Amino acid sequence: MTTTYDVRVWKTGEVRGARGTSYRVRWVVAGTPYKKPFRTSALAESFRSVIVTEQRKGEAFLIETGLPVSIARAENEASWFEFSCRYIDSKWHSLAGNSRRTTAQALTTAMLALLSTERGKPETPELRRTLVSWAFNTRARAGTSLPDETIRPALDWLSHSTRPVGDLSDAGVTRRLLDSLTTTHDGQRASAATVQRRRGVIVNALHYAVEWGLLPHNPVASLSWKAPRTSRALDKRVVVNPIQARRLLAAVHEHGGPSGSSLVAFFGVMYYSALRPGEALNLRKSNLLIPAEGWGELIFEESCPSVGSAWSDGGTRRETRQLKHRAKGETRSSPCPPELTHLLRQHLTRHGTDAEGRLFRGIRGGRPLEESTYHRVWRKARENALSAAEFNSPLARRPYDLRHAAVSTWLNAGVPATQVAEWAEHSVAVLLQIYAKCLAGQEEVTRTRIDVTLREA
């Protein structure tokens, strides 16, 4: 809301009418006239006195309402519970499913730090379940069904047991709120990345509170509080080299059970083209620009990340949406080296596509490929392809680590960072901060080159 200090207050006026005499206070805020009627002159003068006092104190006035910020804030005061519900509703339609869930979790943590009383408090796990599953889930509250009887008492208690948003003007309250973001629900220290993510949600929510006149300014901005440092650098121990990658893909085919052969190309597009799992799951035949053999290209425009049925618009576990960091309809391309071209051609010949042209799906009835299925196959492949030491290490522990390996391979092959960033859908700064790591065994090669240089010098 827009504020100004351009305020003029007129004398109280008397208005005579058929129903009697009333009294009217008139004032002008940034050229916009306002008036407020009262039944008695005493009430009118009292209100005018408040307006004049706030003007003389240098209080800003809201142009939209004509009231001093402090008065407008008092009239619009809301509890943190009420405000948080309003905030998540304002964000819901612009957030992806995973962002909806993490926003609800951050608001829940903040809620438990802003309780105004402990009297009659339900158990903390019950409060968490109520907040995440209902209060901070816009789709759940917008449904036709009423809250479950098991959560209704917690909702009733929360509605009158949280601090007003205005209390965050107190630095001590804000500091306690931020401190609460640094621990998990079981009292352990939260990771630096989790704290940063939660803090981002709270800062944005408080900007929204300022916009609605509930706070004069964002209290976090003026508070001397630092979140724990977070390292964005990739642990190079997870990155497989080309030999290890080929062994893993061969193990998927040989030891992956009934679905193994149909998943070789699935893991292949993550390793050779740096696709995210959600992008690979949504890959269609129309996205493949590949020859019979040799180099090709993958061009795609949608992903279907796993968000959970409670957080998607359609109530499904996965939600088809635009690519990460891209507007709807924008495409991204990735190179398809000859090895991947061969895997994709082989997959199309043996397994074809589903009715909508998707390459990868479940083995029974054409259902979507489940996360549990490909994770189970990957665990089995690691067990069979890696040595005992490698298996017990972080090396390619998650299928997503194949994407890390792809980007690291490109960088170590000398591909310009700008080109790698475009293929992997990253900014150059983020790329060099996270992915510029050596492949397993690359350090020895580097040391040998340095040794040769020193001997020749």
Residue 301 C-beta-side C-alpha neighbours within 13 Å: 6
How far is it, in rounded angstroms, from Cα 284 to Cα 262?
Answer: 14
> What does the block give as tokens for 402?
């194949």
pLDDT of residue 342: 96
Helix (H) or strand (E) holding 442: helix 442-456
pLDDT of residue 133: 87
Helix (H) or strand (E) holding 260: helix 260-273
The residue count for the chain: 457
CA distances for 367 relative to 85, 147, 354, 357, 362, angstroms: 36, 32, 9, 13, 5
How far is it, in rounded angstroms, from Cα 345 to Cα 318?
Answer: 27
3-state secondary structure of 291: coil
CB 151 within 8 A of CB 129: yes
pLDDT of residue 368: 80
Q: Which residue has the tokens 């397994």?
A: 351
Q: What is the mean pLDDT of each run of 10 residues along the chain (457 residues)?
A: 85 85 92 90 89 87 83 73 92 89 94 92 91 90 70 88 90 92 87 89 93 86 78 79 94 84 94 92 92 93 75 72 71 92 95 89 76 92 94 93 91 86 84 64 67 73
pLDDT of residue 153: 87
pLDDT of residue 74: 62
CB 159 within 8 A of CB 152: no
162 closest CA partner among 149, 173, 147: 173
100 closest CA partner among 155, 137, 140: 137
The CATH topology of domain 236-444 is hpI Integrase; Chain A (1.10.443)
> What does the block give as tokens for 37?
């009627």
Residue 223 C-beta-side C-alpha neighbours within 13 Å: 21
Rg (CA), the chain: 30
Longest dimension (CA), the chain: 108
CB 290 within 8 A of CB 345: yes
Which residues, at least 6 apart from 149, have a Cβ–Cβ distance to it below 8 Å?
A: none
pLDDT of residue 148: 73
Q: Where are the domains of the chain?
A: 3-75, 80-211, 236-444
222 closest CA partner among 165, 169, 176, 182: 169
CA dihedral 192, 196, 201, 205 (to 10 degrees): 120
3-state secondary structure of 430: helix
Residue 259 C-beta-side C-alpha neighbours within 13 Å: 23
> What does the block give as tokens for 87?
């905030």
Query: Residue 392 CB: number of other CB atoms within 10 A?
Result: 10
